[in-house]
Structures are given as structure tokens and as C-alpha cells.
Amino acid sequence: MIQVKNHNELLKQLEGRDKAWVLLYKSADSEQSICAYEHLTKAEKESKQAELITVDVTQVRDIHANYGVTTVPTLLEFHGSELKNTIKGCHDAGYYENIFSGSVFTANSTGDEETPQKSVTVYSTPTCSWCNTLKSFLRDHNVKFRDIDVSKDAKAAEDMVKRSGQQGVPQTLINGEIIVGFDKPRISKLLSIQSK
């Protein structure tokens, strides 16, 4: 992990790299930032491809403004020195590992295109009919999501219960907000899906 102190130092770190990840966070009094920092540190240790660059916005004031970041924690993905994606909030270490390995979809969130897609994780089991209905609904609306089979991943099942206090599936995590069951109106609202 590399800590940078200003924008020029960041640009030097980005030189010669195909891909780089930069975490903008607050080191003190921010539960979400501490969560993101800890999960990214764990993901970086597990990943052979990633080296994380960190920026504590309580000490460094010139980086977040250069990339239009107004909230932290925010993970920036660079290809060379070009910003490609922005991932906001705290996610589990597995999600970050998938981002580092390129096996999870992230919407391009730079420029003036449409609003980037929110982070969506579905906790499910293969035998759950409502889980399959939920996943079909998301696919029908072109929503990219990460599907976690909690019958095969005990750690994920434990994390799911910690978040919601419930063991039932499906559960959907949308940008840090948990929805238990297939609550179509609430999921549609959070993902800006227009009812047909």
C-alpha cells in the first residue's frame, strides 16, 4: 500500500502502471472509511494484481477536487493516468478482490454519460425460487450484480446475517443498503427501474 501526500505525487505513482486503484478516505471518525480501508487492505493482500494507493482527505486537499469526488470513501480505478471508474462506499473484501481481478462489472462513471450503476450484490441459494425470480428481474432490466451462493460460502452467509439480522434469502445489497426478500418496489426505486 502506498500513501500519497498530494496530486503531483499521485500522478508520479500512476506513471507506468496499466491499472491502479486509489482509495480516498478519512482516517478518523468515519465508520464507512474505516470499513473500506480495512476491506481493501485485506483484498490487496489476497490479490496478486493490485497495489493500492491511499489518500487521507483529512490531510490531502488537492486530489479529490481534481476528480470530482465529494464523498468518501471512494475507490478510483485508473488505467494509466486516466480515471475509468469510481466505486463509492464500503464493500466486502471479496467484492474488492473481484474488482482487482477484473471479474466484476463496474459501470464507467466518468464524463457526462448516464448515472453509474449502483453496486448490487444478491445473496441467494440455488433452490430458492424467489432468488431466481429476483435475479431474472435484475437481468431483465440490465442490472449487473454479483451473485453469492450462501449455501456454499459460510463467511458470506455470516456477513449477510450480520448486516440484516436474518438468515432468509434472497437478500440484496444495493450501495450498502440491505433488502430482505424480493421487495420489487423498493429494489426498483433504489435502482431507478421504471415499472412497466
Q: Are residues 18 and 67 in the same domain?
A: yes
Least confident of 6-15, 46-55, 106-115, 151-160: 106-115
Q: How many Cα atoms occupy the beta-carbon half-sphere of 131 within 13 Å?
A: 18
Please tell me the total count of domains within the chain: 2
pTM for the model stands at 0.56
The answer on 45 and 78 residing in a single domain is yes
Q: To 10 degrees, what angle do helices 93-101 and 31-46 make?
A: 50
Q: What is the pLDDT of residues 83-108, one digit of tens each?
A: 888 888 888 888 888 788 765 554 44
Neighbours of 167 (CB within 10 A): 12
Instruction: Based on the fold, state whether residues 17 and 89 are members of the same structural domain.
Output: yes
The least confident of 36-45, 98-107, 187-196 is 98-107
3-state secondary structure of 139: helix
Q: Is residue 115 part of a domain?
A: no
pLDDT at 148 over 50: yes
Note whether 7 and 97 are same-domain residues: yes
Same-domain status, 95 and 148: no
Query: Is the pLDDT score of 80 beyond 90?
Result: no
* CA–CA gap between residue 61 and residue 45 (Å, rounded): 28
Residue 95 lies in a domain: yes
Same domain, 152 and 184: yes
What digits encode the pLDDT tens for the residues 63-74? 888 888 888 999
pLDDT for the residue 115: 57
Residue 24 falls inside a structural domain: yes
* Digit-coded pLDDT (tens) for 12-24: 999 988 888 999 9
Establish if 111 belongs to a structural domain: no
Same domain, 80 and 127: no
Q: Which domain holds residue 91?
A: 2-101
> Residue 32: inside a domain, yes or no?
yes
Quote the pLDDT of residue 48.
73
pLDDT score of 10 more than 90:
yes
Q: What is the C-alpha separation between 79 and 40, in angstroms, rounded?
A: 19
- Check pLDDT > 60 for residue 61: yes
pLDDT band at 195 (very low <50, low <70, confident <90, very high): low
The arithmetic mean of pLDDT across residues 24-41, rounded, is 88
- For residues 19 and 76, membership in a common domain is answered with yes
Q: Quick check: is 54 in a domain? A: yes
Read off the CATH number of the domain in which 92 is found. Answer: 3.40.30.10
The reply to whether 109 falls in a domain is no
Q: Is the same domain home to 89 and 127?
A: no
Q: Is residue 110 a part of any domain in this protein?
A: no
